[in-house]
Structure formats: C-alpha cells, structure tokens
Amino acid sequence: MRYLVTFIFVVFAFAKAYSQNVTGTWKTIDDDSGEVKSHVEIYKRDGKVYGKVIKVLDEAAPEKPLCVECKGDLKDAPIIGLEIIQGLKKKGDEYKDGTILDPENGKTYTCKIWLNEEDSNKLMVRGYVAFFYRTQSWERL
C-alpha cells in the first residue's frame, strides 16, 4: 500500500510540474473572433525562451503564407517556421525582456509570457510598447 501511495504521489508531482511549464505547443486565439489562428511551439534555447509558428489554421491564408508586412530579412519569409517570440528570460513566474513579432502587421513588440494562475493550460502572452499593451490567452495543445 505504501508503494502505491508513493507511486501516485510521484505521478501527480510530475504531472503538475509538466503542466506548469511554458514550453510545448499552444493554440493562438484571435482576439475578435475567438477562432484558433495558429499553433506555436514554445521552446528553450541557451537559457532563453523562443516560439515559432508550426501551423497556420486560417482558411483564407494561402497554403504557404508569407510575412509580407515584415521588414528586412524577414520580408516575405514563410510564416510556418518563423520564430515570432525571441529571447525571453525567466524572472519569477514570468518570462520577459524578449520580443514578439506580429506576422499580420510585421511589427515587433516587447513581450512577456506567463501561465494563467487559475489554469496552467492557458498561456498569457503580452506584447507592448511603452504603456500600451495587448494580452492574448493561448491554450495548450
């Protein structure tokens, strides 16, 4: 019996630790329509957090959508595989001091992300310039 209780405790501890991790695949949700727009993979590299688009779900988008509004080297880059979140550093319960690119308008914003306190399967993603910001809630796949 003691082994069963220990096993159950270990399983729940691992499940809780996994669910509190920002890495993984997330569904991006359109602010206005509430529809899923894409899947973004969040991952760690060299101690920082990054995110890239792995799937675009917009039926109106071309089969291989491009970042036509992006500037410089990213101009007309394929959106699938595009690293839209870059260089976030863990500070407390948040990851911040990085950037996020909005492929729809080609603009880059300061970014921070954190897990929703009430539901760790929701990732809060905030892009901002000075005191103006927009926060989206992404859902874990």
| DSSP per-residue codes, 22-38 | --EEEEEE-TTT--EEE
**Closest to 103 measured CA to CA, from 38, 34, 50:** 38
What is the pLDDT, as a whole number, of residue 15?
A: 41
Decide if 16 is inside a domain.
Answer: no
Decide if 14 is inside a domain.
Answer: no
Range of the domain at 53: 22-140
Decide if 132 is inside a domain.
Answer: yes
Cα distances (Å, whole numbers) of residue 47 to 50, 56, 113, 140: 10, 27, 15, 22
Q: What is the CATH number of the domain that holds 43?
A: 2.40.128.520
Tell me the three state secondary structure of residue 121.
coil
Decide if 26 is inside a domain.
Answer: yes
Count of domains for the chain: 1
Instruction: Please state the φ and ψ torsions of residue 133, each to the nearest 5 degrees.
Output: -150, 165
Cα separation, 80 vs 91, whole angstroms = 29
Decide if 72 is inside a domain.
Answer: yes
Cα distances (Å, whole numbers) of residue 17 to 5, 14, 51: 18, 5, 20
Decide if 74 is inside a domain.
Answer: yes
SS (H, E, C) 37-80: EEEEEEEEECCEEEEEEEEECCCCCCCCCEECCCCHHHCCEECC
Per-residue confidence of the chain (141 residues) as pLDDT tens digits?
Answer: 565 444 444 344 444 444 479 999 999 998 888 999 999 999 999 999 999 999 999 877 888 999 999 999 999 999 999 999 999 999 999 999 999 999 999 999 999 999 999 999 999 999 999 999 999 999 999
What is the pLDDT, as a whole number, of residue 4?
A: 44
Contacts of 137 (CB under 8 A, 6+ apart): 29, 116, 122, 123, 124, 125
What is the pLDDT, as a whole number, of residue 3?
A: 53
What is the pLDDT, as a whole number, of residue 1?
A: 57
